[in-house]
Amino acid sequence: MNTVLPSYDGKTKHYKDMNNKNEDRPRNTFTIKKINLIYRIFDFLLIPLMYALGGFKKDIVQQTHGWHTVNIDPSKVELSKSIQIEGLDESKFNNYGGFLHHLGFFHIPIFGGWKNYVILECPESPWYVGWLSKGFSQIQCLLIVGDKVKVLTGREGNKTIFFGVDRNGKQVSIKKLDQGILGDGKYVSVPLY
């Protein structure tokens, strides 16, 4: 497998260098931000809207919002503990740039957003999931209490590197367990990030 690690090109506005923060932490640990209570209340209030935008299917309630993520230095990610996923969606929406990106249309199935997902599994619990893709190097700051999470594969032709981080910020190994299409009813209780 030929894995290409995204790099900082000086133009990507979503990248934030974390090297200068927490100098006392080991090099390959990550800082996970605590999500403000106001945002958690807002998340709760958004559930009916997310349910509707997912086509009224329980397994499509998207939990990834901009206030849930922290940008990271992609060079800290150990590729040997990560997994690269090929994008499977034929959607016209990218996960980077443009007006429609900022509205999150690529995450809204009823508007033609991505529908293909993979199930990632981590032996460490609780844990966090992170990703490296064109324009993004982030960790989702919502704690995953179980051993599985559902993530969208992205647009056809794109590649995303997913990785796991334990609650102490140390990277842990993950693996792909399965894949499917949103609404298939297969992993209804697994959160979609």
Q: For residue range 66-123, what is the model confidence (pLDDT) as tens digits?
A: 788 899 999 999 999 999 998 876 655 555 444 444 445 556 666 667 788 999 999 9
**pLDDT for 93:** 53
Least confident of 7-11, 39-43, 51-55, 125-129: 7-11
Q: Does the residue 112 lie in any domain?
A: yes
Who wins on pLDDT, 164 or 34? 164
What's the total number of domains in the chain? 1
- The Cα–Cα gap between 123 and 8 comes to 31
- Percent residues over pLDDT 90 in the chain: 36
User: Contact, 175 vs 121, CB < 8 A?
Assistant: yes
Q: Is the pLDDT of residue 18 over 80?
A: no
**How many secondary structure helices (H) and strands (E) does the chain include?**
2, 9
Is-contact 64 139, C-beta < 8 A?
no
**Cα within 13 Å of Cα(4), Cβ side:** 8
Assessment of whether the complete model's pTM goes beyond 0.85: no
32 lies in some domain = no
Residue 119 domain-assigned (yes or no):
yes
* Model pLDDT, residue 108: 63
Examine residue 54 and state whether it is found in any structural domain, yes or no.
Answer: yes
Structural domain span for residue 140: 37-181
Q: Which of 5-9, 78-82, 125-129, 152-156 is the least confident region?
A: 5-9
> How far, rounded to the nearest angstrom, does the alpha carbon of residue 63 sit from its chain's CA centroid?
10
Per-residue pLDDT band at 133 (split at 50, 70, 90)? confident
What is d(CA 67, CA 65) in angstroms, rounded to the nearest whole number?
6
Average pLDDT taken over every residue of the chain: 77
174 lies in a domain?
yes
Of 35-49, 51-65, 111-125, give the lowest mean pLDDT range.
51-65
Please report whether residue 3 resides in a domain.
no
For residue range 167-182, what is the model confidence (pLDDT) as tens digits? 999 999 999 999 998 8
* Phi, psi values for residue 59, rounded to 5°: -85, 5
* Helix, strand, coil percent values for the chain (each to nearest 5): 20, 30, 50
Q: Evaluate whether residue 22 is within a structural domain.
A: no
Sign of CA dihedral 97, 101, 107, 110: negative
Do 31 and 17 meet the contact criterion of CB atoms below 8 Å apart? no
Task: Name the residue among 90, 54, 26, 49 with its Cα closest to residue 188.
Answer: 54
Determine, yes or no, domain membership for 110.
Answer: yes
pLDDT computed for residue 121 by the predictor: 97
What token pair was written down for 178? Answer: 């399965």
**Token code pair at residue 149:** 């999470």
